[in-house]
Structure 1
Amino acid sequence: MLQLCKVTDGLLISNARSACSDDLIQKEAVTLCINVSKQQPFPATRVGTFRVPVYDDPHEDLYKYFDRCADAIHSEAGRGGRTVVYCKNGRSRSATVCVAYLMKHQSLSLTDAFEVVRSARSVVEPNPGFWSQLERYEQELKTRRSAGSGSNLSPT
């Protein structure tokens, strides 16, 4: 079954087949597609697109994209848009990016952010390498917040 799973009002997660369904993209009023893969296509519908070129491999550096993706989702939502984040199966890479967004812009802990994403899409399961990158990101966000440089980190 094709579906885009709602994480927040402005954030959806899915697999590539669902995210490339022009009908679903239009029905869900998606304005930005973040494709967390090297080879999956984008939908034909005219929407904003952003590719994060990583494989679902624990050794891939997804961490370096966390801020950019989280900020893109946040600013899209701020304009009233909706973002779908997807990878091939909608399990590991896309889930990792969604969790990073919730940690940064909704000030959730890693555990709470993961639960929010998993309640939206039950199959999510970041690979061990991505999970440890999320743990590192959680520490990084705590450091930024305590340093007071986090004026852009207020919850949405």
Structure 2
Amino acid sequence: LLPAVPGARGARSRRPPPRPTCPRSAMAPPWPVAAGLLLGSAQAARDPALLARWRVTLCINVSRQQPFPGLPRARCMRVPVFDDPAEDLYRYFDRCGDAIEEAVTSGGTCLVYCKNGRSRSAAVCTAYLMRHRNLALQEAFATVKAARPEAEPNPGFWAQLQRYEDDLKMRKQSAEQRT
């Protein structure tokens, strides 16, 4: 069993609203979240022509089961988690964010995807925006939600994003004190 996530049981009222159902028609395209960052579903990741058109150079597969796309020039990274509130996605936030930032700053495009492009991949994109674009959780999630209205990290991932926001603030304060 994974350790309990601090603040997961109603400690804050910044919980996302209940998750709506996701119609199949809403699962096809990748959705541009920021320059060089796409949020997508496994369906989008399986379309090599679509990925070539977007010039995807990095695929982050946030699932244990979904296949990788067959793109010869794209680097692939797996984040092996299920869409389960008890899963520890937090431990991958820095690694994924750094990989996305490296792809973006080198002129590439990163596709972050999970089965439906709603929970796991949305959480990773949100964490990236928090760390590398210095956005607060609410602003980062609003950016993701504007790109993909069906985006809704599950309650466990939302609590982990809240913890990540707190940790990023502490890191920033520590760095400022050292200078």
Specify if TM > 0.5. yes
1:27 and 2:28 are equivalent in the alignment: no
Question: What CA distance in whole angstroms lies between the structure 2 residues aligned with 1:45 and 1:102?
Answer: 26
1:14 and 2:40 are equivalent in the alignment: yes
1:59 and 2:86 are equivalent in the alignment: yes
Q: Give 1:55's aligned amino acid.
A: F
Is the partner of 2:112 in helix, strand or coil?
Answer: strand
Q: Give 1:68's aligned amino acid.
A: R
Deviations 1:47-104 (A, max 9, x none): 1000000000000000000000000000111110000000000000000000000000
Return the offset for 1:45. 1.4
4+ residue segments displaced more than 2 Å: none
Report the RMSD for the aligned CA atoms in angstroms.
1.5
Question: What CA distance in whole angstroms lies between the structure 1 residues aligned with 2:103 and 2:70?
Answer: 19
**Which runs of structure 2 are paired with 1:65-80 in the superposition (5 Å)?**
65-80=92-107
Q: Select between 40-49 and 141-150 the one with higher mean Cα deviation.
A: 141-150
Q: Select between 131-140 and 14-23 the one with higher mean Cα deviation.
A: 14-23
Is the partner of 1:25 in helix, strand or coil?
Answer: helix
Return the offset for 1:149. 6.6
Question: What CA distance in whole angstroms lies between the structure 2 residues aligned with 1:14 and 1:149?
Answer: 36
Query: Which of the pair has more CA radius of gyration?
Result: 2
Q: Give 1:44's aligned amino acid.
A: G
Q: Give 1:29's aligned amino acid.
A: R
Question: What CA distance in whole angstroms lies between the structure 2 residues aligned with 1:149 and 1:30?
Answer: 36
Is the partner of 2:38 in helix, strand or coil?
Answer: strand
**Alignment coverage as a number of residue pairs:** 151
Per the normalisation by structure 2, the TM-score is: 0.82
The sequence identity of aligned pairs, in percent, is 54
Is the partner of 2:95 in helix, strand or coil?
Answer: helix
Closer, same or farther: CA 26–125 of 1 in aligned 2, 3 Å: same
Return the offset for 1:148. 1.0
Is the partner of 2:39 in helix, strand or coil?
Answer: strand
Question: What CA distance in whole angstroms lies between the structure 1 residues aligned with 2:67 and 2:101?
Answer: 23
Find the partner of 1:36 among 22, 46, 62: 62
Deviations 1:108-130 (A, max 9, x none): 00000000000001100000000
Is the partner of 1:31 in helix, strand or coil?
Answer: strand
Per the normalisation by structure 1, the TM-score is: 0.94
